[in-house]
Structure 1
Amino acid sequence: MLQTLQRSRTPSGAAYLDQGEGDETVVLIHGVGMRIEAWGPQIERLAETCRVIAVDLPGHGGSTPLDGPPRLEQFVAWFGRVLEELSLGPVNVAGHSMGALIVTGIAATAQDKVRRVALLNGVHRRSEAARKAVMARADEIVSGAFDREAPLSRWFSVEERNSEAYVLVRDLLQAVDAAGYADAYRAFASGDSIYSDCWPRVTRPALFLTGSDDMNSTAEMAQGMARAAPHGKVVVIPGHRHMVNLTTPETVNAALADWLTWEVENDT
């Protein structure tokens, strides 16, 4: 049975979890179809030394949907409001998949709110073939006639299909609100190039992490963003796919803990 974590809500209706304390605060944003619980191993580990805030995307978990159909820019503006409502900033922000696109948008448009930035399994300038495929999936999801288990074959290897991570993600996909899922997926499908030129201007320490076998958030994408960012570093975890934070949590937790030690330069 899916275990639900206790949430609070901001005045505008964003659901969030707030755990731990420390000199650093980390805000976590999950991907399409997921919710706060998808960050379980990271929340547990990081809260040992940091304040950790995990947020449900609009229309996911306990968060109020956005007026639709929202584009990626509206999700980025929403996240900026969440940071303001929680009186956060500059703060460390880490996003997975769709969350990584939102983190990119914040780094591009409100760098003053950011201390460090981490993209887990982030997409960047899809190929034309990949763009057509993801837009086709978006159209299917928006139609309401979609297979909630279809992402699992892309996100997990055959060997992982009896794992706790697989079961958790399958259950989260089954539970997600169809309209919220459709809104977020449409923004995800069309948003990979909106802020893609920002990285040369992002002066904050930036981590780009993915699995070597992720078919959509590829190692090449992570490497390209890291090369463009003045203080970018890439971590590619061999043998893992899209849900790398759940399939090898110790490795991801170690990478995030290291990221939180990277020196932050003051703006001049």
Structure 2
Amino acid sequence: MKPEFAPERAASRGAAGGTSYSVYAPRSPDALATVVLIHGVGMNRSVWAPQIDALAASYQVLVYDMLGHGESALPSATPTLAEYAAQLKALLDAMGIGRAHVVGHSMGALVALEFALAHPQRTLSVAALNAVYDRTPAQREAVMSRAASLGETPPEAGVDATLSRWFGDPVPGHLTQAAQAVRALLLSVDPLGYARTYRLFATSDDAHVGRLANLAVPALFLTGECDPNSSPAMSRAMATAAPHGRAEILPNARHMMNLTDPARVNERLLAFLAEANAARHAHASIIGASHE
């Protein structure tokens, strides 16, 4: 049995075009919109459990397994970010969802930004959690070294090093349960899907450099103060480059902050989504008035 986190909400599950997904109905009869959650490398859709329960109060929540992860199909041998963005577009098309708020974590944040840039008409807003952007030479060397070593070392060795980066070394006692659950996910991921996706992640930190000026939707860049690989400086640089962007930094948080600090992450996400919805309705009212 694959390890999973357990959202409190019941889900409708399915598969479309090789993508495995779950949909959580909103508790409110007046759902504001659909929110899509995209996980990071080595995870699957279950890792969003703490966000699902909070967001489903007012939104339909769609989570899915990225290519090469969970129950979804493998990506191509040398995938691109466009391939992962196309996966999301095909899923939205299959489900008849015209527009959505798109939230991604780590590699998922790169996919979310790529989707928003390629399909602004399908994107209500984008939130990039613990995203990478324009790594320093030292950061790039470290991540490329990890990518090159995939398949050459025992899985446990790489996983333990990952947990140290994501949770701290040693892992604080109150985070032990979350770290062990993440460890189980990393050890259960398809090795080929993981390797292909991680190599793309390792080489894509500059994929949006020079392009964020074209980001036409509200954008939140949220990371942890103590995340050295998805640093506050990266989020601030992205927010500065995006016309409608803003950066927020969670004090004392690290890379897996959606699990270790869910209350604070959910608070920031809900506030951002509410502002994005309000701005959209205000814009629609202005457009409507201009045609009267």
Of 168, 172, 189 in structure 2, the residue corresponding to residue 160 of structure 1 is 172
Are 2:178 and 1:178 equivalent residues in the alignment? no
Are 2:21 and 1:16 equivalent residues in the alignment? yes
Change over 3 Å in CA distance of 1:251–1:145 after alignment to 2: same
Match of 2:182 in 1: 169
After TM superposition, give the deviation of residue 253 of structure 1 in Å: 0.3
Match of 1:48 in 2: 57
Of 36, 40, 43 in structure 2, the residue corresponding to residue 34 of structure 1 is 43
Contact 1:10 1:86 in 2 (8 A): no
Match of 2:228 in 1: 215
Contact 1:25 1:51 in 2 (8 A): yes
Contact 1:209 1:234 in 2 (8 A): yes
Name the CA distance, whole Å, in 1 between partners of 2:153 and 2:191: 7
For 1:27-106, list aligned pairs within 5 A: 27-106=36-115
Opposite residue 214 of structure 2, the aligned amino acid is R
Quote the RMSD (CA, aligned, Å). 2.0
With 1-10 and 135-144 compared, the bigger mean Cα shift is at: 1-10
Of 135, 138, 153 in structure 1, the residue corresponding to residue 144 of structure 2 is 135
Q: Which digits, 9 at most, give the CA deviation of each residue in 1:210-233, with x for residues without a partner?
A: 000101000000011111112112
With 154-163 and 102-111 compared, the bigger mean Cα shift is at: 154-163
Name the CA distance, whole Å, in 1 between partners of 2:115 and 2:135: 20
Contact 2:133 2:208 in 1 (8 A): no
Q: Which digits, 9 at most, give the CA deviation of each residue in 1:202-255, with x for residues without a partner?
A: 121111000001010000000111111121121100111100111100000001
Contact 1:58 1:64 in 2 (8 A): yes
Contact 2:12 2:24 in 1 (8 A): no
After TM superposition, give the deviation of residue 85 of structure 1 in Å: 1.7
Q: How many residues align?
A: 268
DSSP 3-state at the match of 1:261? helix
Contact 1:20 1:49 in 2 (8 A): no
Q: Which runs of 5+ in 2 are unaligned?
A: 288-292
Opposite residue 47 of structure 1, the aligned amino acid is A
Contact 1:199 1:228 in 2 (8 A): yes
Name the CA distance, whole Å, in 1 between partners of 2:74 and 2:12: 16
Name the CA distance, whole Å, in 2 between partners of 1:89 and 1:165: 35
Contact 1:149 1:173 in 2 (8 A): no
After TM superposition, give the deviation of residue 259 of structure 1 in Å: 1.0
Name the CA distance, whole Å, in 1 between partners of 2:166 and 2:5: 22
Of 147, 153, 159 in structure 2, the residue corresponding to residue 148 of structure 1 is 159
Of 254, 264, 271 in structure 2, the residue corresponding to residue 241 of structure 1 is 254
Name the CA distance, whole Å, in 2 between partners of 1:7 and 1:69: 32
After TM superposition, give the deviation of residue 4 of structure 1 in Å: 6.3
Opposite residue 128 of structure 2, the aligned amino acid is L
Q: Which runs of 5+ in 1 are unaligned?
A: none
DSSP 3-state at the match of 1:149? helix
Name the CA distance, whole Å, in 1 between partners of 2:178 and 2:154: 25
After TM superposition, give the deviation of residue 144 of structure 1 in Å: 6.3
Of 126, 133, 138 in structure 1, the residue corresponding to residue 135 of structure 2 is 126
Opposite residue 17 of structure 2, the aligned amino acid is S
DSSP 3-state at the match of 2:16? coil
DSSP 3-state at the match of 2:102? strand
Name the CA distance, whole Å, in 2 between partners of 1:43 and 1:202: 26
Name the CA distance, whole Å, in 1 between partners of 2:268 and 2:138: 31
Contact 1:206 1:232 in 2 (8 A): yes
After TM superposition, give the deviation of residue 142 of structure 1 in Å: 4.8
